[in-house]
Amino acid sequence: MATLFVLWYLLAASFGFTFAADCPASRLHISEPPYDNYFLSDCITSAHVIVTSPDANTNNSNSKPRLLVAWPAGNSGATAYFEAENNGTLGLQLQNSTADGQILDTVNQPAATGAKNQNPRVGVKGLVHFDTPALLTLPILGSIRSIRDYSEGGGILSPDVQNAVVTETFGDNGGQFSRTWFDGETTTWIDFTPTSGVEAVQIITGDKWMLRFGTGTYEFRATFNYPQLVQLSPSEVLNNASQALVRESADLTKSLSFLSYSNKLLAGSWRFLTYFGRDSMLSALLMQDILSQGEGGALEAVIGAVIERINKTDGTVCHEENLGDYAAFLARQDGIDSSAPSCDYKMIDTDFLFPILMNNYFVNTDVGKDRAALFFSRKATFLEENAGTAYSTLAERTAERIMSITAPFVSSQVASNLLHLKDGQTVGNWRDSGTGLGGGRIPYDVNTALVPAGLRAIASLSQAGYFSDHPDWADTAAKYAQVWEDETLQFFEVSVSSSEAKQLVQQYVSDAALAGPSNTDQISGNITFYGLALGTDDKPVRVMNTDDCFRHFLLNTTNQAQLSAFLEQTADHILQNFPVGLKTDVGLFVANPAYADSRSLQDQFKNSDYHGTVVWSWQLAMMAAGLGRQLARCNCTSAPDFCGQKLRSKVGNAYEVLWETINENRAQLSGEVWSWQYNNGYQPVPLSAFSTTESDIIQLWSLTFLAVHQQDV
Ligand SMILES: *[C@@H]1O[C@H](CO)[C@@H](O)[C@H](O)[C@H]1NC(C)=O
Ligand SMILES: *[C@@H]1O[C@H](CO)[C@@H](O)[C@H](O)[C@H]1NC(C)=O
Ligand SMILES: *[C@@H]1O[C@H](CO)[C@@H](O)[C@H](O)[C@H]1NC(C)=O
Ligand SMILES: *[C@@H]1O[C@H](CO)[C@@H](O)[C@H](O)[C@H]1NC(C)=O
Ligand SMILES: *[C@@H]1O[C@H](CO)[C@@H](O)[C@H](O)[C@H]1NC(C)=O
Ligand SMILES: *[C@@H]1O[C@H](CO)[C@@H](O)[C@H](O)[C@H]1NC(C)=O
Ligand SMILES: *[C@@H]1O[C@H](CO)[C@@H](O)[C@H](O)[C@H]1NC(C)=O
Ligand SMILES: *[C@@H]1O[C@H](CO)[C@@H](O)[C@H](O)[C@H]1NC(C)=O
Q: Which of 490, 496, 499, 526 to mutate to test the pocket of ligand 6 (most atoms within 8 A of CB)?
A: 526
Nearest residue CA, atom 6 of ligand 3? 96
Mean pLDDT across the chain, nearest whole number? 94
Per-residue model confidence as pLDDT tens digits over 567-616: 999 999 999 999 999 999 999 999 999 999 999 999 999 999 999 999 99
Pocket test for ligand 3, best of 38, 51, 53, 96 (most atoms within 8 A of CB): 96
The predicted-structure confidence for 648-673, as pLDDT tens digits, reads as follows: 999 999 999 999 999 999 999 988 99
The pLDDT value given to residue 4: 38
Residue extents of the structural domains in the chain? 2-224, 262-483, 493-706
- Rounded Cα gap, residues 381 and 128, in angstroms: 41
pLDDT digits (tens, 9 = 90+) for 517-558: 999 999 999 999 999 999 989 999 999 999 999 999 999 999
Between 55 and 28, the higher pLDDT residue: 28
CA atoms of 320 and 335, how far apart (whole Å)? 22
- Residues touching ligand 3 (Cβ under 6 Å) are 95-96, 101
597 CA → ligand 8 middle, Å: 37
Q: Is the peptide bond before 674 cis (omega within 30 degrees of 0)?
A: no
User: What counts of helices (H) and strands (E) characterise the chain?
Assistant: 22, 32
The residue type of 580 is: V
Please indicate whether residue 495, judged by its CB atom, sits closer than 6 Å to ligand 2.
Answer: no
Provide the 10 A C-beta neighbour count for residue 465.
11
Q: Beta strand 527-530 with 587-588: parallel, antiparallel or unpaired?
A: unpaired
Relative to the CA of 713, which ligand 7 atom is closest? 13
What is the band of 57 on the pLDDT scale with cuts at 50, 70, 90?
low
Give the global pTM.
0.93
Phi/psi-derived region of residue 114, left when phi > 0, alpha when psi is between -120 and 50, beta in every other case: left
Check whether the bond before 227 is cis (ω within 30° of 0).
no
Q: What is the pLDDT of residues 377-420, one digit of tens each?
A: 999 999 999 999 999 999 999 999 999 999 999 999 999 999 99
